[in-house]
């Protein structure tokens, strides 16, 4: 089959690889019909290079048609339409029983001390072949794949794999009070979807980014856009937010930026450096150096009101990052974060999407491309060119 593979920092290639096979009686094989390109795939592209091996199949936002089921699988049959959550979670361990699926104890990677495995997400997360491919092996067939109805387009359900549950959990963690104001930092796919969900839930939403077409998308759904590049020299996002919230700040902030933000040449330099070093040197450097920049997070702490909540959806990866503890303690800021426990939210979200499209998922993707165009798509997505916000590959 054909698959998108990592071949080195900044080098993705579509190559021919062996088809996946049933390895455990609980496995299913799906024929992938749509597969999302995610901001966190760009971390593999560059930052997480030390944890990649040449030839690794990437992608963690797939859906498709069940092709084959293992002998122990009872709830799925060939022909069923399924979406695959990005966490590889077993559904029956101590963590899964508590719906902490991103911490599944059956698939944790003990070598690196990390949580549940992800599809297509480096040695840090289990080294599991990913879903930007023609076929995918999915473990825990009776629990993990989300069966979806026939009828609507793939895009109606595809984002149950990551974007929808990640945004949904971010919004729940933000705990916006009734009539409250939510500040969303970043209008990439997660920030965009979180803003749409928050507006739909009746909250006032202020969205910040510096890419005009991304801000235009959330504005269409009712968020108030703030372009960082339009701020005066002496003004900050927090100033703008305080001006419109009685001087207090936002009741809650979602940081949907993480370490992919613009404008930190030093951090970018360290990331690139880590990518070029021999693996043995670079792996400890990546985990310890705290290469991510914290500008978005500092903005969140500044812009949130006293006693408010900061919900972190963007990915941070440093181990020694300085946090302003006095500000956090003095302002009584609540912080929640973590990878989405995808399967905890999919039934609730699917229940809504089966009948309706309140968040505009069917027009959410900006580009639908064949797998062969993946290398160029990664590049344009990273450079935020050509209006690329969300790419869906159709193998």
Which residues here bind Zn ion, judged by CB under 5 A? 38, 89-90, 93, 96, 104, 106, 162
Q: Comparing C-alpha atoms, which of 165, 179, 90, 129 is closest to residue 4?
A: 129
Q: How far is the CB of 78 from Zn ion (least distance, A)?
A: 26
Nearer to Zn ion, 41 or 224 (CB): 41
Instruction: State the residue number with the nearest CB to Zn ion.
Output: 38
Q: How far is the CB of 322 from Zn ion (least distance, A)?
A: 28
Q: Cβ-count burial of 131 within 10 angstroms (0-12 exposed, 13-18 middle, 19+ buried)?
A: buried
Closest separation in Å from C-beta 248 to Zn ion: 34
Residue closer to Zn ion, measured from CB, 120 or 249: 120
Distance of alpha carbon 339 from alpha carbon 317, whole angstroms: 12
Find the shortest distance in angstroms from Cβ 378 to Zn ion: 13
CB of 116 to Zn ion, least distance (A): 7
Q: Which two tokens stand for residue 84?
A: 């695959």
Choose between 67 and 107: whose C-beta lies nearer to Zn ion: 107
What's the full length of the chain, in residues? 395
Nearer to Zn ion, 43 or 203 (CB): 43
- Nearer of residues 89 and 109 to Zn ion, judged by Cβ: 89
Least distance to Zn ion from the beta carbon of 306, Å?
33
Q: How many CA atoms lie within 13 A of 204 on its CB side?
A: 10
CB of 320 to Zn ion, least distance (A): 26
- Cβ nearer to Zn ion, comparing 61 with 251: 61
Of 193, 110, 146, 170, nearest in space to 340 by CA: 170
CA–CA separation, 210 and 225 (whole Å)? 10
C-beta of 224 vs 260, nearer to Zn ion: 260
């Amino acid at each position: 089959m054909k698959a998108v593979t990592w071949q080195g920092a900044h080098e993705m290639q579509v190559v021919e690889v062996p088809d996946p096979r049933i390895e455990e009686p609980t496995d299913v094989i799906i024929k992938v019909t749509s597969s999302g390109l995610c901001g966190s795939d760009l971390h593999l592209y560059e930052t997480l290079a030390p944890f990649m091996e040449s030839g690794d199949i990437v992608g963690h936002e797939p859906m498709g048609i069940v092709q084959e089921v293992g002998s122990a699988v009872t709830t799925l049959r060939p022909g069923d339409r399924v979406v695959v959550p990005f966490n590889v979670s077993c559904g029956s361990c101590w963590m899964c029983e508590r719906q902490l699926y991103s911490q599944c104890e059956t698939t944790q990677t003990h070598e690196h001390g990390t949580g549940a495995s992800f599809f297509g997400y480096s040695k840090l997360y289990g080294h599991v072949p990913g879903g930007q491919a023609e076929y995918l092996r999915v473990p825990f067939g009776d629990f993990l794949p989300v069966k979806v109805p026939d009828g609507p387009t793939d895009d109606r359900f595809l984002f149950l794999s990551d974007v929808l549950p990640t945004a949904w959990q971010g919004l729940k963690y933000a705990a916006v009070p009734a009539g409250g104001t939510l500040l969303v930092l970043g209008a990439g796919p997660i920030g965009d979807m979180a803003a749409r969900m928050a507006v739909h839930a009746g909250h006032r939403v202020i969205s910040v980014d510096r890419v005009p077409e991304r801000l235009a998308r959330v504005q269409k759904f009712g968020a108030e856009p703030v372009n960082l590049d339009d701020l005066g020299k002496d003004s900050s996002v927090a100033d703008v937010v305080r001006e419109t919230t009685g001087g207090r700040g936002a009741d809650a902030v979602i940081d949907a930026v993480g370490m992919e933000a613009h404008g930190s040449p030093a951090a970018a330099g360290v990331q690139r450096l880590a990518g070029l070093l021999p693996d043995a040197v670079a792996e400890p450097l990546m985990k310890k150096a705290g290469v991510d920049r914290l500008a978005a997070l500092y903005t969140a702490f500044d812009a949130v009101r006293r006693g408010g909540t900061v919900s972190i959806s963007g990915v941070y990866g440093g181990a020694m990052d300085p946090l302003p503890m006095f500000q956090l303690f003095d302002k009584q800021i609540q912080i929640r974060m973590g990878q989405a426990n995808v399967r905890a939210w999919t039934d609730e979200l699917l229940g809504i999407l089966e009948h309706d499209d309140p968040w505009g998922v069917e027009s959410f993707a900006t580009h639908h491309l064949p797998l062969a165009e993946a290398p160029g798509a990664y590049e344009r997505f990273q450079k935020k060119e050509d209006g690329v916000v969300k790419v869906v590959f159709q193998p």
